[in-house]
Structure 1
């Protein structure tokens, strides 16, 4: 063999070794050739990487929207000008409301197409059309289809007023034109191998239903859990645990609620417990799986919001001032989209309408904002908007159920379930009654179990009995299932010219039930509920009622406008809501019903801060300061409890002295460097979950997955027990309440110092670190690129509950706003992200820093600023098809 080594020589050497022959060793390659070869290889790799990155950049950049020039679009009546400022906020100038709504659909599609597409598909149970055979998507679609969101929206659209239908059609045309304006669809479609289906007018209503499901679906099981409590607990104990109100309640009408009194030993004596409360066989350890789940439930964010308004008698210009911050899950992109829209109208001041505020991609209209004459903000109403109907089956035919008109057959609905990448459709089957869909046994169990945990295991084991309820089958009647209660009425609210006009519209606005706080340029303020309220006859809606079968229990239409809950111009000039019990008036409270109300701490802190401000001190900066309030007022009595417990301990744990110092000097705010606050926050959660663990033991024995986590929000009964310390309601594992409380503190300290960690490392910021991501961030984790699609992972002040500044790991203020109608130039609007959903856009996350820091109000304007880009849309007779 001569010359340099080559593939043939290597092959000959291997072959010779295999035959037992001797072979000559190859000559060593000259060093300079080896170096040169390595450099060439590195250069080729670098070129390949550069080409790959360049191609990827080019591919991604093709889906960036055109922002300049003139563009012909189908579906427009007259020209529309869209300018964008230095933050990407669009200002839509149109010749009519219809074309302005078209423009809003256009910019939504340009900046947030994939987000709005997934929103409509999630509500309608059509995610598998995007995500393919992913079993999570298929399973979600199956569970979602029973709500029939698309059918409900289609029926609502068919009966909509002509003007409303025209606006929904204009919005859909705008979305399709915006999608067609992109050189390629957003990168998520390529990643999924999916197409964008043209937007339909009904889809704007489907997206509204998506928000109803987000806010209300977690409350669907309240009646069933109440029913289970009634079956397994003494009625006096159930009433105590479900007692309405507590010392923190702050209704607008300033009413008071009576604190609950613990039931006596004749009701329940845990020192001599009945069989249902036996310790043996239950999960006694608070370190167990269920206890850990309960603690997480006790610590979780209550999705909702804050809003308030002050009348013109308190501001320096006589205009009302409205503030709003909605608390939702945080992700990429942000939930809301900021916009300004204007068009001529001679009936308005200066001859034109101008809307500005926050919009929901996928839905026409402004959810929060101002039109120059009226400003509005919204929060979730924790009311009762559904009823579970126990079905009476025909003993001779299980396919028939009893109604007031006699036996009736179930209607079976069969719908195709399309799966991306599959040549054949799957199908979904479910049954429907005259009242609503049937919730089958497995669906009911999934609802009752926490997140479905444990249900699959039992199904595999063939054990399907979970919570033994009195009836085997239920139908669900939900306002969100009623086409006559669904519409695009938010567009009508957007054009109200004063508070009185907005109040008249409120009962007929078909949106998720929300607390609307209103203020107008004349200084009037009001609160009401947007959305239809069912008129219940024969029952109060607090539990499943069998009277539906014979007609003694029923809905008789909707509450009259004259009875619709409202508070107008209260003497204090101040109105506020924070997912609390907004009114104490029995008649209004009965109409709203009982839901998963917040404890009231946020509302009372907001009320007190508003009360403390002097007239004419109300401005935008003062409103932002309230929204950023992270004081631990709610936990003050828990701090006093722990300090007293430590001081009275005859043989204190050696760690108690340091803990006491932290509690006294470092627990008054949910600051990122506070150790004392974290101790208080987690201690309260432990105590709550432990007490409920032993009080609800018969429920757990009936169903190991029973987890009415919403009971953990009810502070009043647990605090009443801690204050009165009734021995008969203390688990017999403890000699005294003090012994129980001390054991929980020691268990928490053991956890905090596990592995020898010092207290100083156990800060609130170490726990409360933002983790807000894009739905595809996880797929990039293997390449170390997840941060490319995520918000910065940083510690943030605020807490998941009980203070105005709500902030959890992946939940928090999805926007902040304060505005006076007619003085929008002074207003602010903050988003936890940017306008665009495109990672190459300069507006992908450019609002995050101001939101995280709580930047002063005058630096985050509500109105779109000076134009940086101008795009003119020109009507075209050509109808394009954006599906690709």
Structure 2
């Protein structure tokens, strides 16, 4: 018995030693890829030495004798800190993820091959001017210099993820950077999804007034009536299927409807500034990831210093400032996508109808290689309107007439994309007029560019705007017959027709993704906008004081008051507050009274420490589900976020919208008060099951946790606790400090889409400008810079955005010197 015990002890001890040894070896190999920021390297591709001074937040300040050398340094710095992120983004654009991740990403690769974003990027290389090509090549050389250094010195393959997946890493090419801009464009537009959703709802709800309820237009005139969707086609429509099938893989490159790009950007002229100079604030909203998509950098160019937010893989500052100019971006929601249904030739399925008769599909075969599986050969098809998408994508099969296929027209597929050239010119601009002129070549994504110089403010919508016929059958809001000439695009509208605001009389300009113009079709910009709520709060904050300061702009950027809550609660609770007799403790009636009492004294502030935001959010979520479930059936699951205008229309009975309160299948006629009371009971039960029975002890931050998930390792057991970042946060779907909730699943209020970058620029004292990103500069989980900015971001704090090199050197964590080999 003693011998058995001794052997068990030896085996256990041996296993512990082996485990510790394995952990040590793993840590050692992973740590090998941590970059040394205080070193000198001989590299190929430089004309003169480059210095990269990293300040105490690990923001690189890149100095060189020429612009080409500076962009070389940016490529090197990006590859030092975010190599894995760059590799994954490039493979996404190329449709080559499955070579590394296997069957998990086959659907993603199939979509990207069909769109052929990378092919369009390669074609776009040919139309770049010499100056842009010099930058793209220099940047690629900088990335490749880091790759060569990793290979020569065995630096842990450049990133710890490389040991797990071991992908082949090809040299960086100019087309790669162009492709990443196109990939960003795909991620911030959702007009395709909006068209499909409207078509599905239209087929379910024969009354067009009810479609207008659940899919309301942004306030304003100029909206024409839509045709009956089924009447557009002379072929049978499919039977309406269940809920939309969503791909929830973090590597899926297309956002769900309602989860695409958003942003805040605004500026004040000197007359509205306490200091007499211009002010600007910008916070672009994108899915939260670890690391963040943004990377802070300062470039010392021949035209002067530029500092701000970059995206690894793209050699431009997308939101930032120079000594003379500040600029920021926000999703414009320009309607840059249209779905067309192409009618097949019944005698030859390889042909489709056009205004000039039948034409043959352009086809090409593409081999999709899959790790540990046999390759798959895809047949890619294009029509004159764009690439053909299968019915399995975006649930197109549920709205495709028999004998038709869907094709996508999208400006982002342009093979003559000079967007990077526009950004490079913008970085050298001195005035807002220069900035607007510089942005003319920009194609996609369409953005609202807010710019300030020392004395002027401006906002211009940039990006290619499709020109549509005034007789277009659906005005771009529903999939349209592609064989009718009046539905097809008529080219691109002139840049001068894009909305533009320069030095407005009020001295304030800005956007929260709200409707910015009200022009009749086809001069309109969009029928589908990203915001009808935040703009209310922004307008109030901007007009509540005569002059603004940097701090008042920060206060507005971090504001967590929900105008939606302030509007909806008096409507849905009007007949519930302070009615009825007191109920005994512990009864459902008492719980309802307690919840109403809490909400009655609430200001609408979505503070992470309060219970009211969670009670309110659970209530309106349950209410909308009760209102639409009987009419929409399984399709109701598509409406993952509340539509404030819908609930307001219902409770105000606008155009008879109160009919949504009556449950079709029940004999009694339910009132909106009945629905509100039942939904509150639903919400209280849900809260008790998930967070406990004491309503006053609830915390919004427990449910509204910012979830920065690592796209490739975030779901791996054990590793996810190392690579993912979770933080309790304030804000919500409709606050200026926007923290868009997941909307579905067991944790519907997780914060998954927010401002990964915030910047406030003060041109009275430019070096007092500030910025922050949501995680840290490094993409290496073992680096102290992986999440060091995360807590500052959560608390609403910033770091200095200074072009003062002496300040950067004074607290430098390292100086990297690149010497020409």
- Whether TM-score is above 0.5 comes out as yes
Distance in 1 (CA, whole Å) between partners of 2:296 and 2:804 is: 9
Distance in 2 (CA, whole Å) between partners of 1:467 and 1:393 is: 16
Range moving further from structure 2, 165-174 or 44-53: 44-53
Report if aligned partners of 1:789, 1:839 keep a CA contact under 8 Å in 2.
yes
Distance in 2 (CA, whole Å) between partners of 1:414 and 1:404 is: 27
- The equivalences for 1:645-660 within 5 A come to 645-647=575-577, 649-650=579-580, 653-660=589-596
1:375 corresponds to: 326
1:872 corresponds to: 817
Distance in 1 (CA, whole Å) between partners of 2:603 and 2:187 is: 33
2:358 corresponds to: 407
Q: Are 1:142 and 2:110 matched, yes or no?
A: yes
Report if aligned partners of 2:592, 2:684 keep a CA contact under 8 Å in 1.
no
Q: Secondary structure at the match of 1:833?
A: coil
Distance in 2 (CA, whole Å) between partners of 1:662 and 1:192 is: 51
Structure 1 pair 300–466 and aligned structure 2 pair: CA distance change class (3 A): closer
RCO higher in 1 or 2 (8 Å CA, sep ≥ 6)? 1
1:814 corresponds to: 756
1:791-835 CA-to-partner distances (Å, cap 9, x unmatched) read: 1x3322111334434354233220111013574311111111111
1:441 corresponds to: 391
2:231 corresponds to: none
- The equivalences for 1:329-348 within 5 A come to 329-345=287-303
1:585-620 CA-to-partner distances (Å, cap 9, x unmatched) read: 447x9442222x2342212211211112332xx232
Q: Secondary structure at the match of 2:398?
A: coil
Distance in 2 (CA, whole Å) between partners of 1:34 and 1:227 is: 71
Q: Report the alpha carbon displacement of residue 526 of structure 1 after superposing the two structures with TM.
A: 1.0
1:475 corresponds to: 407
Q: Report the alpha carbon displacement of residue 645 of structure 1 after superposing the two structures with TM.
A: 2.3
Range moving further from structure 2, 828-837 or 413-422: 413-422
Q: Report the alpha carbon displacement of residue 430 of structure 1 after superposing the two structures with TM.
A: 1.8
Q: Are 1:358 and 2:309 matched, yes or no?
A: yes
2:211 corresponds to: 238
Q: Are 1:520 and 2:453 matched, yes or no?
A: yes
Q: Report the alpha carbon displacement of residue 191 of structure 1 after superposing the two structures with TM.
A: 0.6
2:534 corresponds to: 602
1:173 corresponds to: 141
Distance in 1 (CA, whole Å) between partners of 2:714 and 2:293 is: 19
Structure 1 pair 673–390 and aligned structure 2 pair: CA distance change class (3 A): same
1:246-281 CA-to-partner distances (Å, cap 9, x unmatched) read: 4xxxxxxxxx669999xxxxxxxxxxxxxxxxxxx9
1:745 to 680, 688, 691: 680
- The equivalences for 1:198-347 within 5 A come to 198-216=171-189, 218-232=190-204, 233-246=206-219, 303-345=261-303
Q: Are 1:508 and 2:441 matched, yes or no?
A: yes
Q: Secondary structure at the match of 2:443?
A: coil
Q: Are 1:837 and 2:791 matched, yes or no?
A: no
Distance in 2 (CA, whole Å) between partners of 1:564 and 1:672 is: 40
1:564 corresponds to: 498
Q: Report the alpha carbon displacement of residue 490 of structure 1 after superposing the two structures with TM.
A: 1.6
Q: Report the alpha carbon displacement of residue 525 of structure 1 after superposing the two structures with TM.
A: 0.9
Report if aligned partners of 1:301, 1:800 keep a CA contact under 8 Å in 2.
no
Distance in 2 (CA, whole Å) between partners of 1:385 and 1:827 is: 34
Q: Secondary structure at the match of 1:794?
A: strand
Distance in 1 (CA, whole Å) between partners of 2:511 and 2:244 is: 33
Structure 1 pair 120–516 and aligned structure 2 pair: CA distance change class (3 A): same
Q: Secondary structure at the match of 1:549?
A: coil
Q: Report the alpha carbon displacement of residue 765 of structure 1 after superposing the two structures with TM.
A: 2.1
2:480 corresponds to: 545
Report if aligned partners of 2:185, 2:412 keep a CA contact under 8 Å in 1.
yes
Report if aligned partners of 1:110, 1:181 keep a CA contact under 8 Å in 2.
no
Q: Are 1:638 and 2:573 matched, yes or no?
A: no
1:188 to 155, 161, 164: 161
Q: Report the alpha carbon displacement of residue 715 of structure 1 after superposing the two structures with TM.
A: 2.9
Q: Secondary structure at the match of 1:476?
A: strand
Count of aligned pairs between the two proteins: 765
Q: Secondary structure at the match of 2:326?
A: strand
- The equivalences for 1:711-790 within 5 A come to 714-724=643-653, 726=656, 728-729=659-660, 730-732=662-664, 733=666, 734-754=669-689, 757-778=693-714, 780-781=716-717, 784-790=718-724
Report if aligned partners of 1:147, 1:437 keep a CA contact under 8 Å in 2.
yes
Structure 1 pair 552–504 and aligned structure 2 pair: CA distance change class (3 A): same
Q: Are 1:105 and 2:75 matched, yes or no?
A: yes
1:661 corresponds to: 597
Range moving further from structure 2, 144-153 or 715-724: 715-724
- The equivalences for 1:619-638 within 5 A come to 619-638=549-568
Structure 1 pair 685–598 and aligned structure 2 pair: CA distance change class (3 A): farther
1:825-849 CA-to-partner distances (Å, cap 9, x unmatched) read: 1111111111111122221111111
2:29 to 59, 63, 67: 59
2:40 to 70, 79, 93: 70
Q: Report the alpha carbon displacement of residue 778 of structure 1 after superposing the two structures with TM.
A: 4.5
Q: Report the alpha carbon displacement of residue 472 of structure 1 after superposing the two structures with TM.
A: 2.4
1:214-264 CA-to-partner distances (Å, cap 9, x unmatched) read: 111x33132233334444523343345444224xxxxxxxxx669999xxx
Distance in 2 (CA, whole Å) between partners of 1:607 and 1:178 is: 47
Q: Report the alpha carbon displacement of residue 471 of structure 1 after superposing the two structures with TM.
A: 6.4
Q: Secondary structure at the match of 1:584?
A: coil
Unpaired segments of 5 or more residues in structure 2? 226-238, 248-254, 584-588, 742-749
Report if aligned partners of 1:240, 1:260 keep a CA contact under 8 Å in 2.
no
Distance in 2 (CA, whole Å) between partners of 1:433 and 1:858 is: 50
Range moving further from structure 2, 554-563 or 303-312: 554-563
Structure 1 pair 486–137 and aligned structure 2 pair: CA distance change class (3 A): farther
Which structure would you say has the larger Rg?
1
Distance in 2 (CA, whole Å) between partners of 1:298 and 1:484 is: 28
Structure 1 pair 650–662 and aligned structure 2 pair: CA distance change class (3 A): closer
Structure 1 pair 713–510 and aligned structure 2 pair: CA distance change class (3 A): farther
Q: Report the alpha carbon displacement of residue 367 of structure 1 after superposing the two structures with TM.
A: 0.9
1:692 to 628, 635, 654: 628
Q: Secondary structure at the match of 2:407?
A: strand
Distance in 2 (CA, whole Å) between partners of 1:385 and 1:574 is: 27
Report if aligned partners of 1:341, 1:354 keep a CA contact under 8 Å in 2.
yes
Q: Report the alpha carbon displacement of residue 370 of structure 1 after superposing the two structures with TM.
A: 0.5
1:758-789 CA-to-partner distances (Å, cap 9, x unmatched) read: 223443122112332223444652xx453221
1:530 to 449, 459, 462: 462
TM-score (structure 2 length as normaliser)? 0.86
Structure 1 pair 361–392 and aligned structure 2 pair: CA distance change class (3 A): same
Q: Secondary structure at the match of 1:115?
A: helix
2:236 corresponds to: none
Distance in 1 (CA, whole Å) between partners of 2:483 and 2:770 is: 53
Structure 1 pair 324–728 and aligned structure 2 pair: CA distance change class (3 A): closer
Q: Are 1:129 and 2:99 matched, yes or no?
A: yes
1:274 corresponds to: none
Report if aligned partners of 2:51, 2:815 keep a CA contact under 8 Å in 1.
yes
Distance in 2 (CA, whole Å) between partners of 1:707 and 1:391 is: 29
Report if aligned partners of 2:352, 2:361 keep a CA contact under 8 Å in 1.
yes
Q: Are 1:670 and 2:600 matched, yes or no?
A: no
1:6 corresponds to: none
Q: Report the alpha carbon displacement of residue 82 of structure 1 after superposing the two structures with TM.
A: 0.9
1:163-192 CA-to-partner distances (Å, cap 9, x unmatched) read: 212211211111111222332321211111
